[in-house]
Structure 1
């Protein structure tokens, strides 16, 4: 075999090697791309499932609130107004009290109508929804609540706002039902690169992380994970419970959402 034949054979081998390398690289690229697409699809489905469950839970919570307010709040006001009206037959000077009670009942009905109207709820952003919850706690004297909003409000994907709201709503519910707290403070801070939400009560607290399992800790953490947020809940017995949620804005730009 002369040198030309050898050179030709080497050239063919090199060409075949290059083709094999290209095919291998292309195969690896396709596999990685398919794996990424599958992962994105799984993430998208997990997000959609969590969103659907969250929306159902919010509706159920809203219906429970409406039922309670109609029965225990507005119902009591109307009963009181009826009693006052009957007394006014013999004591006309108490008519002003009747009018005042009826006025309170009308105000409560108007406030409640915001919860009943689904279109009104859809138009609320995160801060407005949280403020409505805080206002309700104070109005019904569940607990003394405060909300402080700082920074320039950043527009977050509305579906992710729903999940963030549900995380906070579940924390609020646990505070009112279990903590025996008298105060609840909420801070919403729109920083340059992330949204930071803090909530703190002054209730009985919990002695260990195991105590969190029964009050939806797992659900809250799973929801935070689905939207790429960091969630920490800390508690100390007789010193209250605190929640801190960090959500980076750039996670809104993830593909698939």
Structure 2
């Protein structure tokens, strides 16, 4: 549609130019028509082509000067007057062109300034966007750093709390161990004095009576010797059991698997509680410190089952692998609340087991719920170069 309008405007300018040229041929001097040519030039400003006004002005100038020769002249009017009129016409034709060129130059300058301003605005906007993006990233990094710092502080506080609790537990364990050690010493002293010593004194009295008796009474002497022998055997068994409580020699002689079997059999015979024992034998002998650690943990676990759990079924599992040995003790007893137990402090046995595993560089875990039993699980890594049991 715009193309059709431009074409119609161009045809109108051409038609008007032809009409003015023909009119100028019949009018003398032609100054009025020369001014009208200027109107055609002004109309050409509407054309989209930037050179349209210049071309129009050039054509109109040629037509105006041609009319000097072709148009009629008045009698008595010199030629220079007609030429002067045409020069005024050229002024009327080219003044709009000069204005147009000046306007176009000003528009071009303004457009370049506008484009330059747009470029600088875009560059500045991009710089601001980059700065804003960098600021957002820096703020995000600071927020993340602060969050990490808060998390680290929380972890540090938790570790400090755990360390304080561990120190308190160790102090309590040390105190209770000293108390238990003194109790064991008193018990051993009492057993030796009230039991072993008295029985040995009775044996000494029997031997003295036998010594003072008549040597002809062989039957009486034989009975006395048999009685003394039986009492010495009983005393020997009691001393052996006492020594066994301090260090089970079966660990050194037969190894951990059979030592646990012996302990389980003794426990069942003493308490009547059946124990399911599952084991996987080690390919090589276990280090002595690991063997005694697991043996004592099982010993303490069975003791707790009798004193506290009152269980009817117990499962013991000993699994020996190439690089790891694990012990699991599970009972169906009454269980306990660990939080409540920690508050009361009555957990010397658990602290002792935990400390033994820590010294062996292992992991100790315990799960217990009231009325749902207790499960103790120990894992200790195997290292080379340690003494073997």
**TM-score grouping bracket, smaller chain normalisation:** 0.5 to 0.7
What is the aligned counterpart of 2:303 among 154, 169, 172?
169
- Whole-angstrom distance in 2 between the partners of 1:100 and 1:8: 105
What are structure 2's unaligned runs of at least 5 residues? 1-119, 214-219, 321-325, 355-363, 382-389
- Whole-angstrom distance in 1 between the partners of 2:201 and 2:147: 74
Contact 1:131–1:147 (8 Å) recurs in 2: no
| Greater radius of gyration (CA) | 2
- Whole-angstrom distance in 2 between the partners of 1:126 and 1:8: 76
1:4 aligns with 2:130: no
Superposed, 1:55-70 pairs within 5 Å as 56=177, 59-60=181-182, 62-63=184-185, 65-70=187-192
Contact 1:66–1:115 (8 Å) recurs in 2: no
Change (3 A) 1:131 1:9: farther
> How far did 1:13 drift?
1.2
> How far did 1:8 drift?
0.6
1:100 aligns with 2:230: yes
Contact 2:267–2:273 (8 Å) recurs in 1: no
Provide the residue aligned with 1:219 in structure 2: 346
TM-score, normalised via structure 1 length:
0.57
Contact 2:276–2:314 (8 Å) recurs in 1: yes
- Whole-angstrom distance in 2 between the partners of 1:126 and 1:34: 46
Aligned length: 221
TM-score, normalised via structure 2 length:
0.41
- Larger relative contact order, structure 1 or 2 (CA cutoff 8 Å, min sep 6): 1
What is the aligned counterpart of 1:231 among 353, 357, 368?
368
> How far did 1:245 drift?
2.1
Provide the residue aligned with 1:245 in structure 2: 375
- Whole-angstrom distance in 2 between the partners of 1:163 and 1:220: 14
Provide the residue aligned with 1:36 in structure 2: 155
Q: Say which structure is richer in strand.
A: 1
What are structure 1's unaligned runs of at least 5 residues? 201-205, 235-241, 253-257
Contact 2:300–2:349 (8 Å) recurs in 1: no
> How far did 1:51 drift?
5.4
- What do the CA deviations read for 1:80-137 (whole angstroms, capped 9, x no partner)? 42343244343312112212212332332233234456x98x9997995896598489
Higher mean C-alpha deviation, range 57-66 or range 83-92: 57-66
Q: Say which structure is richer in helix.
A: 2
Provide the residue aligned with 2:12 in structure 1: none
Provide the residue aligned with 2:278 in structure 1: 150
- Whole-angstrom distance in 2 between the partners of 1:30 and 1:53: 34
Change (3 A) 1:165 1:104: closer
> How far did 1:62 drift?
3.8
